[in-house]
Structure 1
Amino acid sequence: MNPIENIITEINSLFTKQPNTIYEVRLVNQRYAKKVNVFFEYYRIGHATHSQQIARLNDEYRSQIPELATMIHQATGLTVNTN
């Protein structure tokens, strides 16, 4: 499996639909480390955000961040934010 398929399966395993909980995926471009971090975040309304790093991608994925966001959104249905 390629890294993107691994990320999608990890997101699907972490996504447990709970009432009043907001789920999203965040793609963070680390300019100086030349990496792309992928975080799974969820929070209940009125509570703190829980963030879990699920992947760290190499430099070649930095130019593909918009395509990665689209692929993850289509496969999981979750909101994908990019920084």
Structure 2
Amino acid sequence: MWGVQVVNNSIYACDRDNSIVWNNGTAVASNQWSNNAGFPLKLPQGFAVDTSIAVGTVYVTNSDRHTVVKWPAGAVSGTT
């Protein structure tokens, strides 16, 4: 794990080895959902959860691709 945050009584965790960000045991950002047109995660090393404007949107540092990926709540892919 590369980070854990508690946001509005939800536990978020960054699973670097499996390239997944979890929220209470449910994947909210993952390379397994993205297609070639998307921006898959690869070795994420940190994240932040938006609690003000776009509640639940996750911003992930995508270390192997040298990007920050915005993953809106409920989305099946992220954008850089």
Which of 1 and 2 has higher RCO (CA within 8 Å, sep 6+)? 1
* Higher Rg: 1
Query: When the two structures are superposed, what TM-score results if normalisation uses the length of structure 2?
Result: 0.32
- Could you say which structure has the higher helix fraction? 1
Query: When the two structures are superposed, what TM-score results if normalisation uses the length of structure 1?
Result: 0.31
